[in-house]
Chain A
Amino acid sequence: MARMTLGTRNVSIEFPGVKALNDVNFEVSTGEIRALVGANGAGKSTLMKVLAGANPDYTGEVYLNGETVELRTTMAAKKLGIQIVYQEVDMALVPTLSVAENVMLGDMILTADKKPLVSWPEMRRRAKEVLDRLHINVNVRTLVQDLSLAQKQMVLIARAIVNKCNFLILDEPTAPLSDSETAELFRLVRHLQETENIAIIFISHRIHEILQICQKYTVMRNGEIVDTSDVTDKTTTREIIEKMLGRSFEENFPKETVPIGEKVFEVSHLSGADGKVNDVSFYVRKGEIVGIAGLVGAGKSELCKTIFGAYEKTGGTITLNGKELKIKIPTDALRQGIALVPEERRKEGVLVGETVTFNLSAAALDKFCSGAFVIKSRTEENARKYVDSLGIKTPSINQKVANLSGGNQQKVAVGKWMAADCDVYIFDEPTKGVDVGAKQDIFRLINDITRQGNSVIYASCENSELLSITDRIYVLFDGHVMAELETAKTGEDEIMHYSVGSTTQYA
């Protein structure tokens, strides 16, 4: 089997305002399992999309065995034997079709011109052949919707190697898998590496898995490759994390110190959200900002939404001011003094088809009503107040929120709750996709909340933000609380240590 090499030379990608990739030189050869690590937004996925032909606007060049190749379409990449399995497996599979059809889908498209008719026995035979080759035990007639997540992933990997495949990119494949499923996936990956002349690029946040299965690792930070090293017996989690974070680049946010009072809000042994929240206990004191840290997929959003009643709670209690809360739906949470600013603002946070005025009064509309009737002047007065105090940039308070920029939509999503006078405000990734200026406004607002004696739960995967604004931090991994940290006595490396699932004490 000839050894093949795929690489990039000075590849850059610019999105409006940011350099997502900056002169990246990356190389991988068949027969190795390569880890690609980096913090959120480091450019891992962007780079892999270039290799998969899904990012046609790159500058620089990509080469295969020394020759320059053009990877401007996904088809071009596939023809060169570069296959990618994205993290969201459900996006790539057709749930109502059988395993055989899903495995052979790519092949059917490639050969559609030559073979207009489908031969079912042939298709099933070939699909079974591939699955057997990978020792995957799934009936080819099963509908994909009946498979487990791990099996779906196997089906996608099988699809990738039906046709020519020399480079297989797995984007966070283990994030949704259980331990035994992960072990099975690793068996498959090793098998591919040993027998199929394939290079596997393995993107993961779970450093201990990388130490277990990869021969080499490449670290990315801020759109650049900062290091490529061999994985040896001496490689440690800490070493990789330090490379991922680089020197500390903490941003300065105005954290005000407000007197912290009694314990007001407590969650004990909370479970729910289909198992994504697992026996979580924590408390919040009056005037305190408590951070919820953890990587993408750790269960932060699920925790926030379970508290708020948007996901089903299967166990545990939620207490506010010594009273146990009964929350079945979000309406109950709001009535009892809990507000949630959700992560996906366009989908969940704001009503894009409604005006700024309505959005800002939606959570407390009763306050602006006389009987059942909405008093327009009162809602407008409220809207003007928050447009001013939050610095929401809008041509008019009667503008539809759909027409505002992302940062301003987020301010509306936050401002919506200000009129509601809640005791506990839960923020889920409030700074996602907003610029530094809007971030400052949001932080100022959070400070205002605590100054009024209310409490804040702040979930974010931006550890530098957590460190600058919170009083205490709970670190989540796989829906469990791994650690409780005093913000003043901790740092990014310690948060990361627990975020990647380490159970050992951080030294």
Chain B
Amino acid sequence: MQAKLKNPMADKGGKSTLRRLLDWAAVIALVLCFLVFYLVKGNRFLSVNNMINILRAMSITTVFAIAATVTMAPDGFDMSACTLASCSAYVFMSMYLWYGLPLILCVLITIAITLVMYQLTMFLILVCKIPDMLATCALMFVHQGLGQWYIGGGAVSTGMRTPYGAQPVRVKLEPAFSAIGREPWLIIIMLACVLVAHIFLEYTKHGRFIYAMGGNKQAAKLSGINVKAYRYLAGMITAVFIAIGGMLVASRGSSAQVMCCDNYLMQALAAVFVGRSVGGAEKPNALGTLIGAMLVSTLENGLTICAVPFYVLPAVKGAVLALALIAAYATKKEQ
């Protein structure tokens, strides 16, 4: 039998209605968006095609946001995730075009090389004990330079010579390559990433330990959790998602442009922050991240249909993030 509520202290567990509403603020906002855009634009907004537009637009951001979620769950941070993803895109594209390797091999090599490069991140954080933010800030530049050195400063795309002047083995992209970056596969891959991260973080002991560490590293350590090992594990999983994100960008763009992924970082982080408090989780979580990314994507899509100029959209994105953070922090007690 469960112990009855006898202690007045325990009463504080009951959340206020306002707090509950704020916990679901992102979901409520998402529903409101759908309602408003439907009322204004009718079926031009709420068509199957447009829903696919929204999902397609959010997919790459979501994959990077899932990478960020896994890093942030043990209270880590990675500013260099998307510069590393650019490197993954370079590798992926060059393996495919320059060396003409089979697609599946390209995928595996890309993931492997991203994992290898992530060892450097882990070395700086775990061995050199540099705070995550600072270590990855430095690595951002390292990735940019190394990556562009590899591709010789120019994009990797069909019809271009390699930096050594050799003719690429492949001259055109096969349908299987292009399919990765188009629906339905793009969307399926995104949803698979969310699902895998969700199951890992919520239902495995490793995920629980990672969250425990994110909540209180000292207490986790004194509970016998090997905090370094779990930070490393989270890093390796992040690296896999980064590689996937980089490959999606390359396939979607049919090329690996210089710094093609770098700009995804801030949107990905925004999605994680918006999703943090969804359902009162109060920690980075995969489903919340999905909702965060969807909210931003829906807003952008709806406003574009309403003929709001594209160059104003960043302000809307920023406003959503600010509102989400207000919901999360403004009602907190002063420490």
Contacts and interface: CB of A to CB of B under 8 A. Distances in A.
A363 B219 contact: no
A353 B281 CA distance: 10
B-side interface size class: 20 to 34
A330 interface: yes
A353 B218 contact: no
A400 interface: yes
Interface in B214-246: 215-216, 218-226, 228-229
Contact of B218 (A308, A347, A392, A395): A347
B212 interface: yes
B205 A369 contact: yes
Interface string B254-293: 0000000000000000000000000000110000000000
A400 B13 contact: yes
A397 B2 contact: yes
Most chain B C-beta atoms within 10 Å of own C-beta, residue among A347, A362, A400? A362
A387 B225 contact: no
Contacts of A391: 3
Contacts of A416: 223
A18 B294 CA distance: 54
Most chain A C-beta atoms within 10 Å of own C-beta, residue among B203, B206, B209, B216? B216
Contact of A372 (B204, B222, B223, B225): B204
A38 B3 CA distance: 40
Contacts of A400: 13
A333 B9 CA distance: 34
B282 A353 contact: yes
Interface string A401-418: 001110010000000100
Interface string B186-218: 000000000000000001111011011001101
Contacts of A374: 203-205, 208
Given A372-B205, A373-B204, 10 more contacts: A305-B222, A310-B222, A329-B226, A342-B222, A348-B219, A354-B211, A362-B209, A399-B13, A408-B7, A408-B9
Given A352-B215, A353-B282, A405-B10, A395 B5 contact: yes
A399 B223 contact: no
Given A329-B221, A372-B205, A353 B283 contact: yes
Contact of B2 (A330, A369, A384): A384
Interface string A327-355: 00111011100001010000111111110
B8 to A, nearest CB: 8
A340 to B, nearest CB: 6
A412 to B, nearest CB: 11
A498 interface: no
B333 to A, nearest CB: 12
A423 to B, nearest CB: 14
Contacts of A59: none
B123 to A, nearest CB: 19
Contact of A366 (B2, B205, B219, B223): B205
Contact of A362 (B10, B212, B283): B212
A331 B229 CA distance: 10
A321 to B, nearest CB: 19
B12 interface: yes
A365 B219 CA distance: 15
B332 interface: no
B1 interface: yes
A358 interface: yes
Contacts of A403: 9-10, 12-13
A405 B7 contact: yes
Contact of B223 (A362, A394, A408): A362
B129 interface: no
A404 B2 contact: no
Given A374-B205, A384-B2, A392-B3, A349 B222 contact: yes
Interface string A252-291: 0000000000000000000000000000000000000000
Nearest to A365: B205
Nearest to B12: A403
A388 interface: yes
Contacts of A10: none
Contacts of B13: 395, 399-400, 403
A93 to B, nearest CB: 21
Interface string A361-389: 01101100100111000000000100110
Contacts of A334: 224
Given A331-B224, A366-B205, A369-B205, A393 B6 contact: yes
B7 A330 contact: no
A396 interface: yes
B220 to A, nearest CB: 7
A349 B224 contact: no
A387 to B, nearest CB: 5
Given A365-B208, A392-B3, A404-B10, A340 B215 contact: no
A308 B224 CA distance: 9
Contact of A373 (B203, B211, B226, B229): B203
B215 A330 contact: no
29 contacts: A329-B228, A330-B221, A330-B223, A330-B225, A331-B225, A333-B224, A334-B224, A347-B216, A349-B219, A350-B219, A351-B212, A351-B216, A352-B219, A353-B216, A358-B208, A362-B209, A362-B225, A365-B209, A372-B206, A374-B204, A374-B208, A384-B1, A393-B3, A393-B7, A395-B3, A397-B2, A400-B13, A408-B7, A416-B223
Contacts of A372: 204-206
Interface in A65-112: none
Contacts of A352: 215-216, 219
Nearest to A340: B222
A387 B208 CA distance: 21
A308 B222 contact: yes
Nearest to B224: A334
A351 B219 contact: yes
A228 to B, nearest CB: 39
B54 to A, nearest CB: 33
Most chain B C-beta atoms within 10 Å of own C-beta, residue among A351, A384, A420? A351
Nearest to B10: A395
Nearest to B209: A365
Interface in B1-37: 1-7, 9-10, 12-13
Nearest to A376: B203
A353 B2 contact: no
- The 4 A-B residue pairs whose C-beta atoms are closest, nearest first, are A334-B224, A403-B13, A405-B9, A353-B215
A330 B10 contact: no
A358 B212 CA distance: 9
Nearest to B9: A405
B220 A351 contact: yes
Interface string B165-198: 0000000000000000000000000000000000
A124 B158 CA distance: 69
B225 A404 contact: no
Contacts of A349: 219, 222
B9 A354 contact: no
A396 B2 contact: yes
Contacts of B205: 365-366, 369, 372-374
A363 B208 CA distance: 12
Nearest to A342: B222
A434 to B, nearest CB: 12
A399 B203 CA distance: 18
Interface string A46-60: 000000000000000
